[in-house]
């Protein structure tokens, strides 16, 4: 899995799309040593303070993208100056399919607006979401007004674990309208497009946080 020499990408948990790159120099039971990271845009060295929290990612030997949360816990100077990060271990890593964004269950507030007055704007919530799309609950009056292939504007409110909120305005195509299994609730499946890199990062981060929450709930349930 994670090994010495791997490139590690760090994204601040409370940042706005900032990314730093570094190389793994040593791996311990609950920590890793990395070179001082470099800002991906400026190319300048970034100095990290103890207690700073990040979402870390790397590419595994299977070409999968792996994510984990980490925190700066110290510095060392032998044999070279390095940053010490917490490491949860292999069994705590979250694997993300690179060819297809993983959908996770999430109830985020969303407003749906027409592009050409085909229907009355409405508010609802998602039932699942990914960086590539979402499923939303359809109010009864919209069940016949929305059709597959229609392009709409979505206004998403993403509540992050840090307490911050991000509001995304995204174009989406309605892929299908369907009835939820064993229910009289109807849903619409949406596919996002023309998503900016900054918004894509926020969607991935939001999905990642939901994955971690679900995993923690499952572990607590097993206990």
Residues 110 and 216 in one domain: yes
Q: Which of 68, 96, 124 is the last residue of a domain?
A: 96
Which residue, among 204, 194, 142, has the nearest Cα to 172 in the 3D structure? 194
Residue 96, strand partner residues: 65
Q: Is the C-alpha dihedral spanning 4, 9, 11, 13 positive or negative?
A: negative
Per-residue pLDDT reduced to its tens digit, 29-61: 899 999 999 998 888 999 999 999 998 988 888
Helices (H), 39-85: none
Stretch 60-70: mean pLDDT: 83
Write the CATH number for 218.
2.40.10.220
Residues 35 and 136 in one domain: no
Q: Which of 67, 96, 125 is the last residue of a domain?
A: 96
Q: Which of 43, 64, 96 is the last residue of a domain?
A: 96
Distance CA 117, CA 27 (A): 57
Residues 133 and 207 in one domain: yes
Residues 206 and 106: beta-carbon distance below 8 Å: yes
Distance CA 198, CA 201 (A): 5
Per-residue pLDDT reduced to its tens digit, 125-178: 999 999 889 999 999 888 888 999 999 999 999 998 888 899 999 999 999 999
Residues 89 and 199 in one domain: no
Structural domain of 185: 104-222
Residues 128 and 106: beta-carbon distance below 8 Å: yes
Residues 84 and 19 in one domain: yes
The count of structural domains within the chain is 2
Residues 66 and 127 in one domain: no
């Amino acid at each position: 899995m994670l090994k010495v020499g791997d490139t590690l990408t760090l994204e601040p948990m409370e940042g706005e799309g900032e990314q730093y790159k570094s190389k793994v120099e040593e791996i311990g039971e609950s920590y890793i040593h990395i070179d001082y990271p470099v800002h991906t845009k400026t190319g300048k060295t970034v100095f990290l303070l103890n207690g700073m929290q990040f979402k870390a990612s790397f590419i595994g030997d299977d070409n999968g993208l792996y994510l984990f949360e980490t925190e700066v816990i110290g510095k060392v100077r032998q044999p070279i100056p390095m940053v010490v990060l917490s490491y949860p271990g292999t069994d705590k890593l979250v694997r993300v399919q690179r060819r297809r964004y993983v959908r996770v269950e999430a109830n985020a507030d969303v407003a749906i607006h027409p592009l050409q007055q085909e229907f009355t704007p409405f508010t609802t919530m998602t039932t699942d979401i990914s960086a590539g799309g979402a499923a939303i609950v359809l109010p009864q009056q919209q069940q016949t007004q929305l059709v597959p292939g229609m392009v709409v504007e979505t206004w998403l409110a993403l509540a992050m674990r840090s307490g911050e909120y991000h509001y995304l305005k995204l174009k989406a195509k309605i892929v299908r309208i369907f009835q939820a299994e064993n229910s009289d609730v109807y849903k619409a499946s949406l596919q996002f497009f023309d998503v900016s890199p900054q918004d894509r990062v926020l969607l991935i981060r939001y999905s990642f946080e939901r994955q971690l929450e679900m995993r923690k709930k499952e572990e607590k349930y097993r206990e």
